[in-house]
Amino acid sequence: MIDKYFNISGRGSSFKKEIIGGATTFLTMAYIIFVNPSILGDAGMDRNALITVTIVASLIGTLLAGVWAKVPYAMAPGMGLNAFFTYTLVLGAGVDWQTALGVVFISGVIFLALTVTGIRTKIIHTIPLALRLATGAGIGLFISFIGFKNMGLVVANPATFVGLGKFTPTLLIGLAGLLITAILEVKKVRGGIFYGIIITTIIAIVAGEVQAPESFVSMPPSMSPLMLKLDILSALSLGLIGAIFSFMFVDLFDSVGTIVACSYEAGFVDKDGKVENVDRILEADAVATVAGTLLGTSTTTTYIESASGIANGAKTGFASVITAGLFFLALFFAPLIGIVPGYATAPALVIVGVYMFKNIKQIDFADFSEAIPAFLTIILMPLTYSISIGLSFGFISYVVLKAVAGRYKEVSWLMWAIAVLSVINLWFGV
């Protein structure tokens, strides 16, 4: 019955391959269980509740991908957008986290509507490739910068804005963790980022900087401090329009890019380049975001780490069911997850940033009408501590430079509309 529903034999797979593939995907993305509570916790949200919320949101999204879309993809709160949520919206703009959740909820509902109506695909084709690639690279720099800050390597300096931090025991442990994680990634160890967090935390315990928990297993912390606490009405203010669209656009690029990449790896792309069952995959992604905000976390998206499971034999949605099952088991290890310090998850942010930055090589820097907007998008995200501002300058400069170069035909009316919205965002928003 299971074989027939997921078409395991028909895909040339087996239960053993699906189980191994699903477990591999979990190991390579399990770092989000530690990192997401660390980042969102800085916004004033309950860290213990965030552990449960992060795991449950990942479980729901991954289960939707497996059972509804029948693909071996895993979902979890997205890196970059959780940082934008905390450091730009809440800490930077002074928006309370309840309103910020409302912003994510609205973007998720719009996202779902665009998916169901088919408009989502049209928008994807409208945004120039250079800006799509620059968005990922800029977010990579942004979260890497946050990683160095959380580690204590980069600190505020009144003379130079930023400077080198003092070499405290926690900074040295963080740097050791970064080196260990980098070595694991170079050696292509599956779950290298996850193991890096664990090893760094163990070093911190041995060094006396962190106290080991009294027990490693317990019932999951309650989600009640965060569940259904979003403030949708406050999120509808004019000043937050830019933030809503930033969440929407980034999730749009990130999820579609990941889905296409994983679909090629899994053999879900036909001879015309179309992804099989793409509508259901996108619907699962959108529903997961809406569900995640109701639970109390930022945007949920498809993870590129799914490719590691596919490379290890996963070809059907049953692998995602396995991944979801492992997320469920993780619920009962909250005491262990809760002791992980920010400087132990910081190396993960830096390494994930590297992964997000690497596609910069595909941008045509010989064409300045493409290069300048891409560069502005990339550099302004970390410098302004805002994904939204980086996107806005990228969109505006792109349409202006194309028009000045006499290449206005390369710019669709939708891109002009996005540029106008970007101006509004810069004037009123965050």
Give me the pLDDT at residue 80, please.
78
How sure is the predictor about 257, in pLDDT bands with cuts at 50, 70 and 90? low
Give me the pLDDT at residue 243, please.
81
Other beta carbons within 10 Å of 238: 10
pLDDT digits (tens, 9 = 90+) for 368-404: 999 999 999 999 988 988 777 888 899 999 999 999 9
Does residue 274 or residue 285 have the better pLDDT?
285
CA angle, corner 32, sides to 30 and 33, nearest 5? 75
Lowest mean per-residue pLDDT among 72-81, 215-224, 309-318: 309-318
Q: Look at residue 8 and tell me whether its pLDDT is greater than 80.
A: yes
Lowest mean per-residue pLDDT among 130-134, 374-378, 423-427: 423-427
- Please report, for the chain, the start and end positions of each structural domain, with discontinuous segments joined by +: 2-361
What DSSP line would sit under 200-238, residue for residue?
HHHHHHHTTSSPPPS-S--PPPPSTTTTT---HHHHTSG
* Pairwise CA distance, residues 223 & 243, whole Å: 25
Give me the pLDDT at residue 151, please.
92
* Pairwise CA distance, residues 315 & 62, whole Å: 14
How sure is the predictor about 125, in pLDDT bands with cuts at 50, 70 and 90? low
Looking at residue 88, its amino acid is: T
Q: Look at residue 51 and tell me whether its pLDDT is greater than 70.
A: yes
Instruction: Read off the tokens for 331.
Output: 């619920």
pTM of the model: 0.78
Does residue 335 or residue 323 have the better pLDDT?
323
* Contacts (Cβ under 8 Å, ≥6 apart) of 63: 320, 321, 324
pLDDT digits (tens, 9 = 90+) for 22-33: 888 888 788 899
Give me the pLDDT at residue 261, please.
65
The residue-averaged pLDDT of 233-246 equals 82
Mean pLDDT of the chain: 86
* Pairwise CA distance, residues 81 & 226, whole Å: 18
Q: Look at residue 21 and tell me whether its pLDDT is greater than 70.
A: yes
Burial grade of 133 (CB within 10 A; 0-12, 13-18, 19 or more): buried
